[in-house]
Amino acid sequence: MLKRLRFLGVYVLFWIAFFEVGRAVFLAYGWPKSAQLGTSIIAGTLLSGLRMDLSGACYLALVPLLIIAADGFIRPEMARRMLSWYTIPVIIVVAIV
């Protein structure tokens, strides 16, 4: 049980980090314009975006939560495969968007 909760926590933290890195890359890509904003505004952007990142990460973790909840009814190998089949396409789609 604790192992499953730890996995979900790490899964949510992965998505938060993924979104934050994406935001930082976006700011770095537009550095000539971003440099004019000042460090307080850039830090504020990263911090205020953290709430949206947490929300998005929790939405994306809903399917893995359901898969883990059904873990007692399906084989662990099947659960891992389902998580991979869900996570990899979602990473690709989120990276493109």
Tell me the per-residue pLDDT of 71-87, one tens digit each, with 9 for 90 and over: 888 888 898 899 999 99
Alpha carbon separation from 72 to 57, 75, 85 (Å, rounded): 24, 8, 19
Q: For position 2, what pLDDT does the model report?
A: 86
Angstrom distance (rounded) from CA 37 to CA 12: 30
pLDDT per position as a tens digit, 31-50: 888 778 888 888 888 888 89
Residue 20's nearest CA partner among 56, 59, 60, 63 is 56
Tell me the whole-structure pTM to 2 decimals. Answer: 0.83
Residue 81 to residue 64: CA distance in whole angstroms: 11
